[in-house]
Amino acid sequence: MLDNITVIVGPTASGKTDMGVRIAKKIDAEIISADSMQIYKYMNIGTAKPTVDEMSGVPHYLIDEIDPSQEFSVANFREKSEVYINDILSRNKKPLIVGGTGLYINALVQPWNFTKTEPNHELRIEFENIAKEKGNDYLHNMLRKVDEISAHAIHPNNVKRVVRALEVYKETGKPKSQFDLESMKEQLKYNPIIMGINLNRDTLYSRIELRIDIMIKSGLVEEVQSLLDTGYSESLVSMQGLGYKEIIKYIKGEYSFEEAIEILKRDTRHFAKRQLTWFRRDNRIKWFNIEDYKDKEVMELDMIAYLRSKEIICEKRNARNDEECIRNR
C-alpha cells in the first residue's frame, strides 16, 4: 500500500506557510517546502522565507538547501524530497508538503518520469543566445512549432524550461510532451492527499501588495545589493526570481524605485493568477476558501477533519480497499 503524503497548495501570499505549521503541529508532521526560491541560501526577504519563530519548532526541509549559484531542477527536487519523505516516515512522523511551485508539486503527486536525455550545454547556450538576441517570444514560438502542448504549458518568460523542451526535441526528435504522456503510465510512489487554500482576487491582491511593502521595509533592496556585492551574477536563475530581478533593475538605474515596486506588485499578481490556473486543473485538490471562515482555527479544524477522512479511506490494507483508495485520491 502507498504511504500517504499531505500536500497544501495555493497562490503566493495565501497563508500556506502559517496553515502548514498549524496543521503540522496537530498531526505530528514535518514540512517539506515546495518553493523553487526558498531552496536558496541568503535569499530570505524576497522569497518570504519563514523565520525560526514562524516555523514554531516544526522541522522544515528544502529551505536554505543550496547556494544561489547552483542549479536546481525539478528532478533534483523529487530526489531530495523522496529522501526526506522516507526519513520522516521511518520515524513514524507524517510528511507535509507545502508550497506553490506547481512543477515541484507535480513531481510528487503525478507519475512524472523525467526524460533521460543528457543535458547538451552547447544547445542550451545556442537557444539562450537566441532568446537574448531575438526575445523570449521568438524562442517560445520556436517551441510552439515543434511541441505545441509544451508551449501551452510553459510561459514565454520561463526561458529555462523553454530551452529544456527545445533541447529534448532536438536531441530525441520527439516532443517533450510525448515523454510526459508516456510517463503518466508509471505508478505513483505515494498517495497524495491534496488541499488548496483559496481566497477572492481582491483579498489576494491586497495581501500581495502588503507583503511586498513589508519586504521593502524589511530590507529587500539591501538584501539584493548584498547578493550582488558578494558576487552573485544577475544572470543566475536564482537572481531572476520575483523580487530580485526588479530590484536589480532599480539598483542598475533601469527603473526608478517606484517603477520597480509597481512592476514587482504587478508581476506577482500575474504569478499568483498563473499558480491558481495551474492548480485548478487538478480535480483531486480539496479547496478551502478563507472567506468561508470567521477565523483560522475553524479553517484549520476543517482541513484536519478532511485529511483524517481521506486517511481512513487509504489505511485499509487489502487489495480491494487499495483500489478504493486510488479511486478516491
Grid coordinates belonging to 80: 531530495
42 φ/ψ sector (left φ>0, alpha ψ -120 to 50, else beta): left
Would the annotation count 111 as a binding residue? Answer: no
Would the annotation count 14 as a binding residue? Answer: yes
What is the C-alpha to C-alpha distance for residues 13 and 276, in angstroms, rounded to an integer? 12
Would the annotation count 13 as a binding residue? Answer: yes
Name which of 269, 273, 299 is nearest 287 in CA terms.
Answer: 299
What is the C-alpha to C-alpha distance for residues 109 and 124, in angstroms, rounded to an integer? 29
Would the annotation count 150 as a binding residue? Answer: no
Would the annotation count 173 as a binding residue? Answer: no
Distances from the Cα of 8 to the Cα of 170, 177, 210, 255, angstroms? 36, 26, 22, 36
Look up residue 59 and give its DSSP letter.
Answer: -
What is the C-alpha to C-alpha distance for residues 274 and 102, in angstroms, rounded to an integer? 10
What is the C-alpha to C-alpha distance for residues 7 and 74, in angstroms, rounded to an integer? 17
Amino acid at 161: R
Q: In this structure, are strands 94-98 and 3-9 parallel, antiparallel, or unpaired?
A: parallel
Contacts with 37 (C-beta within 8 Å, 6 or more apart), sequence order: 43, 46, 47, 238, 241, 242
Would the annotation count 117 as a binding residue? Answer: no
What is the C-alpha to C-alpha distance for residues 275 and 196, in angstroms, rounded to an integer? 11
What is the C-alpha to C-alpha distance for residues 320 and 200, in angstroms, rounded to an integer? 40
Total number of residues shown for the chain: 329
Q: Containing H/E element for 244?
A: none
Which residues line the annotated binding site for substrate? 12-17
Sequence ranges of the binding site for ATP: 10-17
Binding residues: 10-17
